[in-house]
Amino acid sequence: MGEAASLADIGCGQGHWSRLLYPYLRSPARLAGVDREPQWAVEAAVNFHRAFPQVALDRFTFVPGDATKIPLPDNAFDVVTCQTVLMHLAQPMAALREMLRILRPGGLLLCVEPNNLRNYVAFTSLTAVEPVETIVRRFEFWLRYQRGQIAAGQGNNTLGDLLPGYFAEIGLTEIAVHQSDRAAAIFPPYDRPAQQALLEQEQTSKSSASGPWNREEVRRCVLTGGGTAEFFERGFAELLAKYAQEQQAISARTFHAAYGSLCYLVSGRKP
């Protein structure tokens, strides 16, 4: 990216990804961030100015907008990027084509997307004593949940696996694929701040019935994905039992897992 002097960050959120990439651009670089939530665009601008007070105000802008209708001009940026945005979209290809539109010829498209389905079936210190049938059923449970999400237009949390092919489909060249080495290991005595945050996050999610513990939302997706009501009830009961066993093992300081995350960084150039 050393020769690039302009960057567009699509789905910028509060600007974390923009701030990481900006120092690698050729100065004085130009930056544009777009997010569908107006308040995040405002916060991203404040955060960026705080991080780079030396950058002139006319060199960066953050605006509200949709990833499938980006409010930026054609052929305008050396680098266009997004991080874990396409996975949430009903039409990720429409967003990719929009990003291609605003990218100048020869420019670099850079996207980061995961396969989050793997996170639901990670092996832990308890897996060896689980029946094979239970492990297989848990994978089917989350696979049907994911297919229900896709059918409902709520995105695809395994989109990272498809990203290189999507890049080829829209005509990019010099496609390169890399994987991250992120891991969120849990092991006794669980005294690292990151570990404590992960354990607290899971407990909060469970107690507030949010995310994978939102019973009605999960049920709707599993059934939409082809599961039966009986299959859901059994699968959700097994999830509750698994959580209880993990909490018991954590209390006994015997639970451990590497929890590696499968995430892809894919780049390609516009002809």
For 42-64, how does the pLDDT look when each residue is reduced to its tens digit (9 = 90+)? 999 999 999 999 999 999 999 99
Q: Looking at residues 240-257, what average pLDDT do you find?
A: 96
Q: Looking at residues 152-172, what average pLDDT do you find?
A: 97
pLDDT at position 3? 87
Whole-model pTM: value is 0.92
pLDDT at position 175? 98
**Which CATH number is 6-116+157-182+262-269 given?**
3.40.50.150
For 206-239, how does the pLDDT look when each residue is reduced to its tens digit (9 = 90+)? 999 988 899 999 999 999 999 999 999 999 999 9
- pLDDT bracket for residue 193 (50, 70, 90): very high
Residues 6+ apart with CB under 8 A from 115: 157, 158, 159, 160, 161, 262, 263, 264
Residues 6+ apart with CB under 8 A from 166: 92, 93, 96
Q: What is the 3-state secondary structure (H, E, C) of 70-119?
A: CCCCCCCEEEEEEECCHHHCCCHHHHHHHHHHHEEEEEEEEEEEECCHHH
The pLDDT mean for the chain works out to 95
Domain segments of the chain as ranges: 6-116+157-182+262-269, 117-153+186-251
Task: List strand residue ranges (DSSP E) for the chain, in order.
Answer: 6-10, 30-35, 60-64, 77-83, 103-114, 173-179, 263-269
